[in-house]
Amino acid sequence: MNEKLLERLEAYEKTCFALGHAMGILSYDGNTSAPPKSAIVRGETMGELSRMSYELTTGPEAVKLLEDLEAAKDTLDPVTRRKAVLMRRIFDETDCIPVDEYVEYVKQREESEHVWKTAKQTNDFKLFEPYLQKMFDYARKFALYRAPDKDPYTTQLDSFEKGLTAEKCDKFFGDLKKRLVPIAAKAAEKSADIDVGPISVPFPVEKQKLLSDYLMDVIGLDKERCALGETEHPFTTDFSKYDVRITTHYYETMPAASMYSVIHEGGHALYELGIGDDIALGMLGSGVSMAIHESQSRFYENIVGRSEAFCELVLPKMKEIFSPLLDGVDVKTFWKMVTKVQPSLVRTEADEVTYCLHIMIRYELEKKMMSGELKAGDLPGEWNRLYKEYLGIDVPSDKEGVLQDVHWSEGLIGYFPSYAIGSAYGAQYLKEMGKEFDVWEAVRSGNIAKISAWLENKIWRHGKMIDPCELFESICGPLDANVFADYLEQKYI
């Protein structure tokens, strides 16, 4: 009897996968290749496909399948049992939202992202304001549909990181802030004299592309399964472990921007490429949560990529590619430049130390937006006020301020904390890894594969098999902001 059940599940997963795959490609294409006016029609198509997806996941066949799976629970293998759990979650998260509202949301989200692009380009917050408000309104409304008695922001956090609450976040950010503010101040003071001149001259974009290609090899990305594109805001998207896309952006006079984007997105990609073959194509076949995802990307970007050992590894090739631009630069100098700490405007270009202050600002703002304490129109002012308070800097334009990130325009509200938690997770991995082998020796000798194998075994291969907090704690024990602070202190002070 289970055989039939498994067949039904497989057919269900295949159709879900196809719709998700199609929507993912439409979105990726919209971000990389599509002409501007395609947005409206793409929104319509996304709406139609999400209607089909909605009907598929909440329709009578899905309900019957889910009931049958739950009834047969004790006889199911662990993978199938887990799938039933996730299917139930998806059903509960979807079925409570009226279908037309859901479809309308998907269309609006498509338009919102499109408008955000223009607004950022033209530094026109007013243009984006109503869309931004709408995205928050939807998030709040849907969160209340999903859990009428729960704080809506916690519901959002939970959707990105199962088990995360606003309370836990408050504690984490509270602990971190206490340590981070003095570390950042001292590190910035220590960095003040570092001259980044040698990496602030024009580095031809064509050569930066060669560097991207080289870095993909260094960190071990399989190019048969992973391709690099270009986009305004770098991101990673996966359709299966056989098809992962990373993107970067090139600024002529900031070669480090693309360099670290490639490594960051490469970390995301490695996670997806490392999903176990046994679960690759079904419901469990991608990363389990945003914080676990960011813990991979930020581990490769900062802990590996911004280590002195990594600079030692890649500088010779960089000198060759950009010759003669880096001729006079030695490893120590290069490392100092890419680890210079300095309060700055743009999150994605921020150094490893001040980065989490950028996140805290977004965390505060989105929490207040979700509670209704703030409206979209208040955001530019509040944003600028907090940048002054946390980072001591003035924001000269919304383009470099509240309009800089794509997330809110796409309805990704409650996502930002993942970056900080992911960063902290990374420091805890490093501590555990160090008990087993010399991490810096592995990096220095180009044996990044050793690090990747560790992460693959502990994390990647499991896909969505284990909930994120449980997965993390089974490797490192409880989340501890102090381990992360210790790591930063040791590296930067």
**Residues annotated as part of the active site:** 265
Smallest distance from a copy of itself to CB 106, Å:
12
Smallest distance from a copy of itself to CB 3, Å:
20
Are 255 and 203 spatial neighbours (Cβ–Cβ below 8 Å)? yes
Which residue, 31 or 156, is less far from a copy of itself as judged by CB? 31
Residue 147's CB is within 10 A of a number of other CB atoms, namely: 15
Smallest distance from a copy of itself to CB 145, Å:
25
Six token digits for residue 61: 């066949």
Smallest distance from a copy of itself to CB 103, Å:
11
Helical spans, DSSP H, in 387-438: 417-436
How many separate helices (H) and strands (E) can be counted in the chain?
20, 3
**Interacting residues toward a copy of itself by CB under 8 A:** 14-15, 17-19, 21-23, 25-26, 28-29, 32-38, 40-42, 44-45, 47-49, 52, 206, 223-227, 229, 239-240, 242-245, 281
Helix (H) or strand (E) holding 22: helix 2-32
Helix (H, G, I), strand (E, B) or coil at 243: strand
Residue bearing tokens 């530019």: 380
**Rounded to the nearest 10 degrees, how much is the dihedral formed by the CA atoms of 122, 203, 257, 405?**
10
Six token digits for residue 26: 């439409």
- The partner residues of 236 in beta bridges, in order of sequence, read 246
Which residue, 9 or 337, is less far from a copy of itself as judged by CB? 9
Nearest to 131 by CA among 105, 150, 153: 105
Which residue, 18 or 72, is less far from a copy of itself as judged by CB? 18
Alpha carbons 82 and 85: distance in angstroms, whole number: 5
Which residue, 21 or 89, is less far from a copy of itself as judged by CB? 21
Smallest distance from a copy of itself to CB 124, Å:
18
Q: What is the CA radius of gyration of the chain?
A: 22
Which residue, 55 or 124, is less far from a copy of itself as judged by CB? 55
CA 25-31-35 angle, to 5 degrees, is 105
